[in-house]
Structure 1
Amino acid sequence: MFEVFKKEILELLRDRKTLFFIIALPMLVFPIIVALVAFLTSQAGLKAQQQVHTYYIVNEQYADAFSEQVFYHKSFKKYQGDLKLDSVHALSEAVKLGQIDVGIFIDSDPREAIKTGKQSQWKVVFNDAKAINFTFNRINELANTSSLAVRSNALLELGVEPERQQAVLKPIVVSKVDTADKRENYGEKLGAFIPYLLLPLVLMGASYPAIDLGAGEKERGTLETLLLTPVTRSELVLGKFFTVLASSIACTLITVASLAIWVSIATRFISIDVITTAFSSVTSWDFLLIFALLLPVAAMLSSLVLAISIYARTFKEAQNYMAPLSMGIFVPIVISLLPNMELDTTTALIPITNVALAIKEIVKGTVDYGSIGLIFIASAALAALLLICCVRWFNKETVLFR
């Protein structure tokens, strides 16, 4: 078995394409993602600050102070064309045609409407599908300022003093006291995202060498030569399995190490509050625990992909079988994102889902080590079962020579 393992490892190290997917790609994934997030965040913020929108206000005489605020706002530019718009429909058509970016329809003077117990209805017309950043919020903020002024004057006329107005308008104030710290809040979101990166890379580290060691050997006609050696079939398949497992573990180790290194860089040198808050308290021990959780997953996937590769007649057929498996691994990850899905005695027994939930708990800082132990036992048991099936699979003539 050791000789088979040694032979396969040497051949694996000579394959530059496989080495790229096992070593180089996991090292590049996280710096690319961190750089991309930082770039897009900065560009989105810069674009939102610099973008100027052309506006048109219908009945602006009803709200002089508001119209003046919009006019002098750095994000808005008054329409200077010949259009005469007088309704919401007309504003909508102008927005659709690109003649204006945003239209504001004011139906009545709010100072007069409040005297009769009515509300002045203002409508903001814009194309939200074009993701015009913060347009509605900015206009709403300016409108609220005008609304507060009108309300304050109306209350003064009713004899309510300014210092009492807030208490009269809102006698009860409800505030939220969150028992979860920022790490737990952000970790809930980012921790659910990390398995999407880690688990497919673990599968990738196993699938590329497995295809070559199974279907590749069949296609080249070298499998028959190996079967003629004095090595038993069980030893032969175990040698191939440990080669695939070593490849997957190497890919896993590099992936987690890359994650730890680039998260450390991001928290120190890149100003992204979500990443900094979520990972500032994640220690080296936490990353080691994530790596340890992925080890039985690597063994499970190594057995599975090797069995598939042994069954396939050709290299191409094996690749076709791997595609659904690559998609299928996302299903248990998605399950971990379902509402109220938490790591407990039941979910700790669900393959892949349990690891995804555990990684999220580690990032949140709320990990239960009892559940971690249960995950190890369940994952190791399933990995052993899959390995036994793989060995038996390899011992069938109908599978080897189909």
Structure 2
Amino acid sequence: MRRAIVRLIAVREARDQLRDRRTMFLILGLPVLMYPLFVGVGIVFVSMLKGKQLVVGVVGAEHLPQPGRPGPHPFPPLFAGDRFVDAYATPDLPDDPEAAAGRLTVTRLDPAPDAALNELLSSREVDVVVVVEPGLAERLERGERPVVRVMGREGEENSKLAVRRVMGVLRKWAAGVKTARFARAGLPADFDTPVDLRDPQSDKPVDKKLADELRDVLVKVIPLLLTMWVLTGAIYPAIDMTAGEKERGTMETLLISPAERTEIVAGKFLAVSALAFGTAVWNVMLMVLAVGVAQVLFPYPLLSMAGLAGCVVAALPVALLLAAGCITLGVFARSTKEGNYYMVPMFFLVLPLAYWSMAPGIELDAQMSWVPVTNALLVQQRLLSVRPDPFPWQHVPAVVVSMSACIGLALWAAVVQFRREAVLFREAEQGRAKFSLFGRRAAKGEG
């Protein structure tokens, strides 16, 4: 293989793509538009979640402990007028952000059978119903265990959100009732906690907890986004360099040149790989800018910037593999429209492997290091995370071998297709059926 010929083809193909405004928009312009859109949608989602009005219907509110009861250690009231007591309605920082969403509006309901209450829920007059057992305050005074029921709509998101929100309020109120009962018995508030369990998260400040949660999300999402952008940066140039050249009639000119088929494949492969990898680099630059803006709000590190640079390097084998696969599929197509159809298997193959890396508990180990694409994303996740344990370098050779084998196999398939005249000149076939990835097509005139 002559490197000068390969370099000449690669430079020529890359130059043609850089002159194509549509390709440049997909590689450079679309990410610039998408990231602010993602941020804007996230802000709108959070604001809508916080501003959502959740109507809580309460049956039997008069049976709850009332404020102003004389005597020592009274049971705490749940309501202050027509709203929950602020101490209970103000959510703590939960593991589930939706459990703190929505503003609760309380409405008093008359006692009614469950069927009538379910009818109110079905008609969306209320989102959740709290049913207080009659004589609850008196039963608490006697040391009994009364019941408070919560009812919601089945399979409806607003009602589920309201149920989670109200259950958080009721749990905090029940903890206050328990504290009062212990105080009446002359017991300390932590009497029912015989062992003091120290949660490593409990001593962290709120900003640190938020930064940790955001970092865990970014560590998994950034490699997935990079892979999707790399796939986008590889698909359209690969289609244009294969099916597009057939459609324009320039493939024949290239094939009658002194370049060998292997050199042609290598040149196109390098050009597509460079564009796909350039897409990854450009997206990482945008991510650095976005993380830098978010870092201003947190005094704790969200990501390892050195790891982010290493993440770019780890994206290179993914770009090489996707470039080789796209060229192999693109050469089957007779037109760019058909080439777009042929790229569907790339998504079916890449997306499950990429999502696999985001599964809980999945890490780079002796088994996962042999799974192509997934192993590269796990390397990126490990590079991005801020962790005290050492990087698992012992698994990197398996990642390199696995990805190299897949890249070599895809390139071999591309070379085989470029050597088949029936594939390269399918439009010239007359009088017999033509081969297609989706089956055999009848020739024109066959009936």
| TM-score normalised according to structure 1 size | 0.83
Cα displacement (A) at 1:328: 2.0
* 2:261 partner letter: R
Matches of 2:384 and 2:40 in 1, distance apart?
Answer: 21
Would you say the 8 A contact 1:63–1:109 is kept in 2? no
Q: Counterpart of 1:131?
A: 158
| Local SS of the residue matching 2:34 | helix
Q: 1:371 to 1:87 in 2, by over 3 A?
A: same
Q: Counterpart of 2:250?
A: 222
Q: 1:54 to 1:388 in 2, by over 3 A?
A: closer
Cα displacement (A) at 1:399: 2.5
Cα displacement (A) at 1:375: 2.6
| Local SS of the residue matching 1:293 | helix
Matches of 1:192 and 1:144 in 2, distance apart?
Answer: 33
Cα displacement (A) at 1:369: 3.6
Q: Counterpart of 2:416?
A: 392
Structure 2: stretches of 5+ with no match in the other structure: 68-76, 87-102, 427-447
Structure 1: stretches of 5+ with no match in the other structure: none
Would you say the 8 A contact 1:21–1:204 is kept in 2? yes
Matches of 1:70 and 1:77 in 2, distance apart?
Answer: 12
Q: Does 1:302 align with 2:323?
A: yes
Cα displacement (A) at 1:244: 1.2
Q: Does 1:40 align with 2:67?
A: no
Aligned mate of 1:325, from 346, 361, 384: 346
CA RMSD of aligned residues (A): 3.2
Q: Counterpart of 1:172?
A: 195
Matches of 1:146 and 1:255 in 2, distance apart?
Answer: 48
* 1:331 partner letter: P
Aligned mate of 2:62, from 46, 60, 63: 60
Q: 1:178 to 1:156 in 2, by over 3 A?
A: closer
Matches of 1:308 and 1:140 in 2, distance apart?
Answer: 54
* Cα deviation digits, residues 181-221 of structure 1 (max 9, x gap): 96766544332222221101111111101111111112222
- Listed as ranges, the matches of 1:2-401 within 5 Å are 2-45=7-50, 47-48=51-52, 51=53, 53=55, 55-58=57-60, 60-65=62-67, 66=77, 68-69=79-80, 71-73=82-84, 77=105, 79=107, 84-114=110-140, 118-127=144-153, 129-131=156-158, 135-136=162-163, 139-140=166-167, 143=170, 147=174, 151=178, 160-161=185-186, 164-177=187-200, 186-268=214-296, 271=297, 280-283=302-305, 285-366=306-387, 367-372=391-396, 374-401=398-425
Cα displacement (A) at 1:76: 5.2
Cα displacement (A) at 1:239: 1.8
Q: 1:249 to 1:170 in 2, by over 3 A?
A: closer
| Structure 1 range deviating more: 95-104 or 181-190 | 181-190
* Cα deviation digits, residues 260-303 of structure 1 (max 9, x gap): 122112222xx4x6xx85x53421x2222111111111111111
| Local SS of the residue matching 2:151 | strand
Cα displacement (A) at 1:348: 1.6
| Local SS of the residue matching 2:319 | helix
| Local SS of the residue matching 1:214 | helix
Would you say the 8 A contact 1:303–1:383 is kept in 2? yes
* 2:413 partner letter: C
| Local SS of the residue matching 2:189 | helix
* 2:253 partner letter: T
* Pairs aligned (count): 386
Cα displacement (A) at 1:68: 4.2
* Cα deviation digits, residues 42-86 of structure 1 (max 9, x gap): 4433x05xx363634336245434464251448555548xx7442
Matches of 1:258 and 1:41 in 2, distance apart?
Answer: 23
Matches of 1:340 and 1:145 in 2, distance apart?
Answer: 31
Q: 1:77 to 1:263 in 2, by over 3 A?
A: closer
* 1:15 partner letter: D
* Cα deviation digits, residues 309-329 of structure 1 (max 9, x gap): 112222222111102212321
| Structure 1 range deviating more: 21-30 or 114-123 | 114-123
Would you say the 8 A contact 1:54–1:102 is kept in 2? yes
* Cα deviation digits, residues 350-372 of structure 1 (max 9, x gap): 11101111122122224434434
Matches of 2:275 and 2:182 in 1, distance apart?
Answer: 74
- Which structure has the higher relative contact order (CA within 8 Å, separation 6+)? 1
Would you say the 8 A contact 1:108–1:121 is kept in 2? no
Matches of 1:54 and 1:339 in 2, distance apart?
Answer: 35
Higher helix share: 1
Matches of 1:262 and 1:138 in 2, distance apart?
Answer: 32
